[in-house]
Amino acid sequence: MKLRDENAFEDLLSQWSDLEAGLGVVLNKPQSAQQFAHRIVQYDRWMQGLMLRDADTGLYLLFQLATNSHQGYSTSHALVCAVLCHLVVNQLQLTLKERNSLVHAALTMNVAMTAVQDQLADQDGKPTAEQQDVIRLHPVKGTMLLANMGVTDEDWLEIVAAHHDDKLFNQPQQVLTSSQRLTVVLNIVDRYAAIISPRRSRAGRSAIESAQSILGTPGTWAHTVAKTLIRTIGLCPPGTYVKLDSDETGIVVKRSLQPNQPLIAILTKPDGSVDTYPRLHNTSETYPRIRTAVSTSSMRMQFNHFYILQLGAQAL
């Protein structure tokens, strides 16, 4: 998708922001939301429509939003997880019903601790005893809350109830039920998105560090899911920063067929100074290659993301 002008870019960015804001209202006060389950389905459809316009641009904007601030963390995290789950559906050969249960669970897995999750992201110290109780009980309480709010999809409820069950991690696919397989998918995505996102108490990790942290034991369903996620979004997804062999720094704008060879916009010179005219570079074709990923927190400069995405559109 080619963004016609800066107004079109601002419109797209505002649509993602409006989606996140609307979802945040529902998740913060679920008992006050009329037709809660229907509202979640509507937000899912809104997200799907935005991703259909351009999945790479959607990822770019989401990762920029998620890795630049810890404010409103719970809702941002839910939306990122829903998008990542949505993207791996076809590669994991899930049915439409399984896809819907998985994405709706991703949007609502922390509904019983939205406010506390925001507090945790914005505090320096460790969780208090009271917060630890909320963390421990939120899967069960969230499941009860969703059922009381009219959710009748049993897989949706079971995924939320078990989304922190680590016992499923070392199991091969064939011994898991359908809902258990979906639970592992959400668990992997949840971990990945949490590690790459910043908190007040720590910076977000780089995309490569986040990817490495989710690779489980070979032969398990969790390992298959992790590899599929990395293959689908890229080792360094759109919107994340990379350091090149040339010592230049770039930002990923588009995925390629090779997870470790995306299309990037080069932003800085080898000495670290900002390049006045960022340029497009295909790491799958020519030197320099990507040396490593760079965390967003280490980037102190501001960039024109509309101009960068316009560069990416030239590759169409």
DSSP class per residue in the chain = ----SHHHHHHHHHHHHHHHHHHHHHHHSGGGSTTHHHHHHHHHHHHHHHHHH-HHHHHHHHHHHHHH--TTHHHHHHHHHHHHHHHHTTTTT--HHHHHHHHHHHHHTTTTSHHHHHHHHT-SSPPPHHHHHHHHHHHHHHHHHHHHTT---HHHHHHHHHTT-GGGTT--GGGS-HHHHHHHHHHHHHHHHHHHS--SSSPPPPHHHHHHHH---TTSHHHHHHHHHHHHH-SS-TT-EEEETTS-EEEEEE--SSTT--EEEEEE-TTSPEEEEEEEEETTTSSPPEEEEE-GGG------HHHHHHHHHTT-
Does residue 203 carry a pLDDT above 80? no
Does residue 3 carry a pLDDT above 80? no
pLDDT of the residue at 201: 63
pLDDT of the residue at 316: 59
User: Which CATH number does 6-233 carry?
Assistant: 1.10.3210.10
Q: What is the pLDDT of residues 253-281, one digit of tens each?
A: 999 989 899 999 999 999 989 888 889 99
Q: Which pair of structure tokens corresponds to residue 220?
A: 């398990």
pLDDT of the residue at 197: 82
Q: Return the axis-axis angle of helices 154-162 and 178-196, rounded to nearest 10°.
A: 50
Does residue 227 carry a pLDDT above 70? yes
Name the band, by pLDDT with cuts 50, 70 and 90, for residue 173: very high
Name the band, by pLDDT with cuts 50, 70 and 90, for residue 70: low
Which of 134, 133, 3 minimizes the C-alpha distance to 57?
3
Q: Which pair of structure tokens corresponds to residue 197?
A: 């996102």
pLDDT of the residue at 160: 98
Average confidence score pLDDT of the chain? 91
pTM: 0.94
Does residue 283 carry a pLDDT above 80? yes
Does residue 1 carry a pLDDT above 60? no
pLDDT of the residue at 66: 75
Q: Can you tell me the mean pLDDT for 116-127?
A: 90
pLDDT of the residue at 42: 98
Does residue 2 carry a pLDDT above 80? no
Q: What is the pLDDT of residues 8-66, one digit of tens each?
A: 888 888 999 999 999 999 999 999 999 999 999 999 999 999 999 899 999 999 988 77
Which of 84, 108, 14, 98 minimizes the C-alpha distance to 230?
84
Kindly list the domain boundaries of the chain, sorted by start residue. Answer: 6-233, 241-313
Name the band, by pLDDT with cuts 50, 70 and 90, for residue 200: low
